[in-house]
Amino acid sequence: MRSVKSYQASSNSNLASMPQPLTARRSAPISGRVKVPGDKSISHRALILAGLAIGRTRIEGLLEADDVMVTARAMQALGAAVSRSGAAFEVLGQGVGGLARADGVLDFGNSGTASRLMLGVLAGYPMRVVLTGDASLCRRPMSRVLKPLAEMGLMVEGNKDTLPLTVEGTQDLLPIVYELPVPSAQVKSAILLAGLHAPGRTTVIEPLPTRDHTERMLRFFGAEVDVQTRENGTRAMTVGGDAELTGAHVVVPGDPSSAAFLVAAALVCPGSDVVIENVLLNPTRTGFFETLRDMGADIEILGLHDEAGEPVGDLQIRSSDLKGVRVPPERAASMIDEYPMLAALAAFAHGETRMEGLAELKVKESDRLAATAAGLVACGVEARVEGDDLIVSGTGAVRGGGVVETQMDHRIAMTFLTLGLGAEEPVSVDDIGMIATSFPSFVPLLTGLGAQFG
């Protein structure tokens, strides 16, 4: 068994490396059967809960991408041994409260999920830890997690909203009842993870449902989790404190947020027919596929079944004529990472697409609202931002051309490369380096289906 590359304090390899531009060209129909790599959200959670469990956890299908590896290294730095065993990973958990002292700085690279979820874990340990990340992560707001965690007892040095941050947890965390001011699965998860250490019950109330992988996986590892839908439609998630988790066998399904790019490629290359196997189809993640169906896309779900507590199935996509639609704000959480790709698809549709209530897009790896609109305009598409809404006027075809600035954002890079596969003129992006954070096999996988890059 090989151990995951040992944890290194504060290196910033992404910034140090040279930008790698790439061009996508109009492609012939793409076809074939593929699998996308494991879901990023579930992969982070599997490593964290495995480290907090007692005994050994085996994780199959873990996403081997930079974002997830920072979580693996952080858990390793805290004493949970993470090793590869054939195609799977094994984690030797230390129990909730059993993690060791972290030496030096924990570097979370580009990953908002890793840093925010780990803050929830660290809240329960009386040790002083410095958290940092790359230039993109160091611009992203942390007060959304720090505020509830401080209520529970986490001490935060300085009055700061961004990394680098120094924090000190405590063994005497207080359980809280916290209503999320923004719909964020990361904030919900950080509080529930901290709640594992607190005596009594910790409750998070969310105004709109966000991805529920933490709740599902906590149960899977044996924690006591109660989910109530309240009279006003909000949901309350309660975790029992002083929890004991037991090592488990986790199977990570394919990431629907990565599948979204393949679905889009099939839709924009006429004559395409693609099957994507083993995709996570949790209803808190399927807003993109539902919206595409509203737009007239031919997407079929095959063989829906449950695997390790999550719904999974195959997706069959055939290229289709799309029409513009209104995407209501209530749908935002269930497709928050897919808006750049949806906006690009809206440019290939006939008519206007209005995507409403996208304030959260402004605080992702880049300001995705602005970056998406700018990239579309650079490709000859009529697109504008009105407040928190994005409006795209589709004409059925996209001119393309131009170079899109990815702004250290993997999803902006993949969105505009995918758009280029169906555009009249080639589309270049300034740097594909960040794609490794979530979907390292994006280019080879699409090339294997017939897509043209370079």
The residues annotated with a catalytic role in the active site are 337
Instruction: Based on the shown chain and the rule CB under 6 A, indicate whether residue 410 belongs to the binding site for ligand S3P.
Output: no
Closest listed residue to residue 81, CA positions, set 215, 247, 194? 247
Instruction: Based on the shown chain and the rule CB under 6 A, indicate whether residue 203 belongs to the binding site for ligand S3P.
Output: no
Looking at beta carbons only, is 105 or 185 nearer to ligand S3P? 185
Instruction: Based on the shown chain and the rule CB under 6 A, indicate whether residue 189 belongs to the binding site for ligand S3P.
Output: yes
Among the listed ranges 73-81, 180-188, 273-281, 384-392, the one in contact with ligand S3P (CB under 6 A) is 180-188
Footprint (CB under 6 A) of ligand S3P, residues 14-43: 41
Write the CA distances from 224 to 46, 122, 138, integer angstroms. 17, 20, 34
Minimum separation from the CB atom of position 239 to ligand S3P (A): 16
Closest listed residue to residue 45, CA positions, set 53, 36, 54? 53
**Length of the chain counted residue by residue:** 454
Residue with the CB atom nearest ligand S3P in the bound state: 41
Alpha helix (H) residue ranges in 93-201: 112-122, 143-152, 185-195
| Residues 134 and 109: beta-carbon distance below 8 Å | yes
- What is the distance between the alpha carbons of residues 131 and 380, in angstroms, rounded to a whole number? 41
Task: Mark residues 92-121: x for contact with ligand S3P by CB under 6 A, - for none.
Answer: ---------------------x--------
| Residues 265 and 451: beta-carbon distance below 8 Å | yes
Q: Is the peptide bond before 256 cis (omega within 30 degrees of 0)?
A: no
Task: Mark residues 37-76: x for contact with ligand S3P by CB under 6 A, - for none.
Answer: ----x-----------------------------------
Reported in sequence order, the residue ranges of 45-99 that DSSP labels E, i.e. its strands, are: 53-60, 81-85, 88-94
Pick from 72, 208, 336, 343: which binds ligand S3P (CB under 6 A)?
Answer: 336
Instruction: Based on the shown chain and the rule CB under 6 A, indicate whether residue 353 belongs to the binding site for ligand S3P.
Output: no
Amino acid at 269: C
Instruction: Based on the shown chain and the rule CB under 6 A, indicate whether residue 415 belongs to the binding site for ligand S3P.
Output: no
Looking at beta carbons only, is 337 or 409 nearer to ligand S3P? 337
| Residues 241 and 152: beta-carbon distance below 8 Å | no
Total interface residues for ligand S3P by CB under 6 A = 10
Pull the structure tokens for residue 75.
């858990």
Write the CA distances from 157 to 101, 128, 131, 149, 258, integer angstroms. 18, 10, 12, 13, 37
Residue 268 backbone dihedrals phi, psi, to 5 degrees: -95, -10
Looking at beta carbons only, is 71 or 319 nearer to ligand S3P? 71
3-state secondary structure 319-365: CCCCECCEECHHHHHHHHHHHHHHHHHHHHCEEEEEECCCHHHHHCC
Question: Using CA of residue 266, residue 268, residue 269, residue 270, what is the dihedral sign?
Answer: positive
Minimum separation from the CB atom of position 400 to ligand S3P (A): 27
- What is the distance between the alpha carbons of residues 53 and 306, in angstroms, rounded to a whole number? 23
Pick from 46, 154, 185, 204: which binds ligand S3P (CB under 6 A)?
Answer: 185
Looking at beta carbons only, is 41 or 132 nearer to ligand S3P? 41
- What is the distance between the alpha carbons of residues 201 and 331, in angstroms, rounded to a whole number? 30
Instruction: Based on the shown chain and the rule CB under 6 A, indicate whether residue 212 belongs to the binding site for ligand S3P.
Output: no
Pick from 43, 186, 272, 415: which binds ligand S3P (CB under 6 A)?
Answer: 186
Minimum separation from the CB atom of position 454 to ligand S3P (A): 28
- What is the distance between the alpha carbons of residues 129 and 155, in angstroms, rounded to a whole number? 11
Minimum separation from the CB atom of position 29 to ligand S3P (A): 31
Which three-class secondary structure state does DSSP give residue 69? helix
Looking at beta carbons only, is 41 or 272 nearer to ligand S3P? 41
Pull the structure tokens for residue 195.
């709640």
Minimum separation from the CB atom of position 164 to ligand S3P (A): 20
Amino acid at 174: L
Task: Identify the DSSP state of 254.
Answer: B
Among the listed ranges 17-25, 179-187, 239-247, 264-272, the one in contact with ligand S3P (CB under 6 A) is 179-187
Looking at beta carbons only, is 202 or 438 nearer to ligand S3P? 438
Minimum separation from the CB atom of position 290 to ligand S3P (A): 18
Which three-class secondary structure state does DSSP give residue 284? coil
Looking at beta carbons only, is 261 or 453 nearer to ligand S3P? 261
Instruction: Based on the shown chain and the rule CB under 6 A, indicate whether residue 272 belongs to the binding site for ligand S3P.
Output: no
Among the listed ranges 13-21, 178-186, 224-232, 369-377, the one in contact with ligand S3P (CB under 6 A) is 178-186
Pick from 122, 124, 190, 211: which binds ligand S3P (CB under 6 A)?
Answer: 211
Pick from 215, 337, 409, 431: which binds ligand S3P (CB under 6 A)?
Answer: 337
Minimum separation from the CB atom of position 132 to ligand S3P (A): 19
Instruction: Based on the shown chain and the rule CB under 6 A, indicate whether residue 360 belongs to the binding site for ligand S3P.
Output: yes
Which three-class secondary structure state does DSSP give residue 437? helix
Q: In the β-sheet with 403-404, what is the strand arrangement from edge to edge?
A: 403-404, 427-429, 22-25, 452-453
- Residues lying near ligand S3P in the complex (CB under 6 A) are found at 41, 113, 184-186, 189, 211, 336-337, 360
